[in-house]
Amino acid sequence: MSLAINKILIYAKDMQRTSEFYERHFGFNSKADDDGRIIELTSASGGANLLIHQAGKGVKLGQVGIKLVFDVKDVEAYKKKCAKLGLKFGSTHQAEGYSYANAKDPDKNSISISSRAFRKSA
C-alpha cells in the first residue's frame, strides 16, 4: 500500500479570512462544504490541498509544530508580489543552492516560500 499526503488541515479563527489569504497570496481556489464546516483549497499547480476548519475555543493557534512551504523559483520576486497585496515576508535566507523567506498566515501559522525545489544538482 502506498500513501501520499494530499491534504493539510489548518485550524482557523476566521475560516473565510484564512481562505482568502491563501487564495490571494498563493493562488488557491476555494470550495466550502455544503454544511460550511470545511473550506477546501486546491491549487491549479497541483500539490496538497488545504482544508480550513474552524478552531475550537481551546485550540492554541500559531505554534511552530508545522510550517507550510511553497515552492517558488524566485523568492525575491514572489516577496515583492506578496508585499503589493499586503503580505510581508521576513529576510531572505541563503542556504546550499537555494533561498527562502518566512511569514505567518492570519492565524499565526508559519509559512515559507523556498526555491529549494528548483536548486541545481551538484
CATH 3.10.180.10 is held by the domain 62-122: yes
Output phi, psi for 88, to 5 deg: -105, 125
Which residue is associated with the grid cell 490571494? 24
Domain 1-55 identical in fold to domain 62-122: no
In tens, the pLDDT along 73-122 reads 999 999 999 999 999 999 999 988 889 999 999 999 989 999 988 988 64
Going across the sheet that includes 110-114, the strands are: 67-71, 110-114, 99-104, 93-94
CATH of domain 1-55: 3.30.1900.10
pLDDT at 122: 46
pTM of the shown model? 0.78
Listed by start position, the domains of the chain span 1-55, 62-122
